[in-house]
Amino acid sequence: MTTGESARPNPSDDTASAARAFVRRSLPRQRHFATAVGLSLFILDALTLLGAAWLAGQLRAFTNWSWFAASMPGDDYALIAGFAIAFALGSFLVGGVYSGRRGISRIDDAAAIVLRVTVAGLAAIAISSLLAGSDLSYSRRMVASAWLLGIAGTTAVHFIHTGLVATLRANGYGTDRLLVIGAGPTGALVLDKLQRSPQLGYELVGVVRHRPWGDGEEVTELDGTPVLGMTSDLRRTVEAGDIDEIVVAMSGAGHDEILDVLMQIDDLPVAVRIYPDSFRLMTSDVLSIHDLNGLPTVQLRSIGLRPIDRKIKRALDLVVSALVLIACAPLMLLVALLVKLSSPGPVFFTQARVGQDGREFFVLKFRTMGVDAEAESGPVFTTPDDTRPTRLGRFLRRYSIDELPQFINVLYGEMSIVGPRPERPHFVEQFRREIPAYMARHHEKSGITGWAQVNGLRGDTSIEERTRYDLYYVENWSLMFDIRIMAKTLFHIFQRDSNAY
C-alpha cells in the first residue's frame, strides 16, 4: 500500500459472490438495448450519407437546373465522398453519438451534425488533394450538393430515430432501474423531473434516505416512490433491487459524505450521477482547469455577459423582434379583435415586473383574463384548474400567443428575447428571501423565453430549479445558446407545453 492510501477490508466470500451474480444479471440488460440503439443509428447514418453522395452525383442527369451543370470524374468524386463519409461516421463515433445516450436535445444534435459533416467534408477534400495531387478534379457544386443532402438526410434520420427510441423507452423497452439517493428537497426535485420524463427510459425503483426523518416520523413513500431504507445499507439495497443507475441528490451533503456513501458500491456495475445541491457550484457545462503560475485551479463559474456580448445580443434582439412583429402583424390584429369581442375590457394587459438590476418595467401581453382577475385572490400563479382565464385566453396561453406583444418590450430595450423570465415584485421579494442567489438571475435582461422554460419549467413549477437553470444561462451565455433556445421554444409551442395554462 502506497503512502496516503487508506486500507479497505476485502469483501467476504458471500458478498463477493453476490456482487459477481449482480454483475452477470445487470450487464446484459444495460448493454443490449443501448447497443441496438447505437448500431441501428450507425447503419442508418452510413446508408443516409451514401445515399446523399449517390443522389448528388445523379442530380445532373435527373434535372435541368444550372446548379448541377458541372460534373467531375467518378474516381475523384468517389475518393472525396468515401473519405467524407468515413470521417463523418468516425466523428459521430468518437463524439458518443452511438452510445445510446438519453435526453439528447434534437436542436443540439442537429447543430452537431452540421458541424461534424462540414468538418468531415473539408478534411476529405484536403486529404484527397494530398493523395491525388494536382490530378484531383472536383466540382464544388456537386460536393456542396452532397454536403447539403447529407446534412438534411442525417438530421431527419436522427430526429425520427430519437423519437422512436424515446417512444420505446416510454413504453418500457430498454429501461434501466434507477435509485435516487436523498429524500430531501433536492431528491424530491429530481424525482419530479424523472417522473415527468418517461422518454428517458428509467424505472424508478425507490429512494434511499441519507438522514433519519425528523421527530421520529417515518415515511414509506416520496411522491409515490417507495423509500428503501438508509444510505448505510446502500450496497444491499442496490443488489436486492438489481439497480442499473443511481442519482445522488443529497441535500446539504458534503464531499466526504458523498464519497463514503458511494464507496459501498464502487465494485458494482452501477452508473452514478450527482445532482449538485449548490446554486453557486457546478452551474457551468464543463469544469475547466487553469494554471495560476503553477497553482492548479478549477473554474466552477464565470461572470455574465461582457459589454461586447451584450451588444451582440442586443443586435440579435432587434433583428429577430422586428422580423417577428412584421411577420405576425396580421395574427396580432386578429387576436386583438377576438380579445375585444370575447370579453369586456382592454385588448392589452400590462403588469409590473422586475428586470435587469432589479429595475421595474411594465410587461405587455394580450389580456387572457377578465378585468381585475386578482381583486379577491391577490398575486397568485395560474394553475391547471384556474377559472380566471377566458376560453380564448386559455387557447392563447396554451400556445404562448399572448406573449407576442412582449416583442415590443424587446424593441424598447426593456427585455431580451432570451433570458430569465421576469417575475412580479411581490414574488421577487418573497423568492429573494427564500432562495440563495436568486437575485443573481437579474444581472442580465429578462427574456420572453429562457433556458428554464424550454426545459419544461413554466407556470407553477419549482422556483428553485428554475433559478438553477437561469443561473446556468447567465453564466454560460453565447450567441449559439440563444439561437438554440429560440429553436427549442418553437418546438415547445407546437408540441403544446403542458405547463402553459
- Identify which has the larger pLDDT, 270 or 4: 270
Q: What are the structural domains of the chain? A: 17-170 (no CATH), 175-277 (3.40.50.720), 307-494 (no CATH)
- Look up the pTM and report it: 0.64
For residues 474 and 444, the answer to whether their CB atoms sit within 8 Å is yes
CA distance 143 to 404: 41
> If residue 282 lies in a helix (H) or strand (E), which one and from where to where?
none
pLDDT given at position 105: 76
- pLDDT digits 0-9 by tens, 348-363: 988 899 998 889 999 9
Which segments within 147-282 are labelled E, that is strand?
176-181, 202-209, 221-222, 225-230, 245-248, 271-274
Which amino acid is it at 496?
A: R
Of 29 and 2, the structure prediction assigns the larger pLDDT to: 29
Contact between residue 476 and residue 284 where contact means Cβ atoms under 8 Å apart = yes
Report which listed range, 25-34, 98-107, 138-147, 410-419, is most confident: 410-419
The secondary structure element, H or E, covering residue 350 is strand 348-354
The answer to whether the CB of 42 falls within 8 A of the CB of 96 is: no
The answer to whether 390 and 369 are in contact (CB under 8 A) is: yes
At residue 100, the pLDDT reads: 74
CA distance 173 to 411: 48
Confidence of residue 184 (pLDDT cuts 50, 70, 90): confident
Residue 416 — very low, low, confident or very high, per pLDDT cuts 50/70/90? very high
